[in-house]
Amino acid sequence: MGVAPSLVVALADHLEKLGAVQRVRDPADRRRQTLTLTEHGRELLAACGKLAQSLDAEFAADLTATERTALAGLLDRLAARQGLRTKATDR
C-alpha cells in the first residue's frame, strides 16, 4: 500500500471498532492476521461509494461532458504513474 505499517494498524483498529472489519488469524501462519469485511463494513463501503459519486458529480458540475472525460483521463494517468491504480480499481 506504500504507507507505514503503523498507519495500517491504526486504520485497521479504527475499522474494527466501527464493526466494519474483523481480524482473522491465518491458520497456516498464526503470526499473520487477515482483515475481513463484515456485513456492516459492506454497508459502509456501499454508502461511501455513493457519497463519493455524489461529491464527484458536485465537484465537476460546472464542467462539460468533454471536460469531465478529459479530467478523468488525466487523473487516471496521474494515479497510474503513482502506482495507485490496480485491477480492482480500474474502470
Q: Distance (Å, rounded) from C-alpha 83 to C-alpha 14? A: 25
Q: Does 88 score more than 70 pLDDT?
A: no
User: Could you give the C-alpha distances from 84 to 19, 31, 35, 73, 77, in angstroms and in order?
Assistant: 27, 28, 20, 14, 10
Distance, CA of 17 to chain centre? 18
Residue 83 banded pLDDT, cuts 50, 70, 90 = confident
Q: What are 51-77's pLDDT values in tens digits?
A: 999 999 999 999 999 999 999 999 999
Predicted model pTM: 0.68
Q: What are 27-57's pLDDT values in tens digits?
A: 999 889 899 999 999 999 999 999 999 999 9
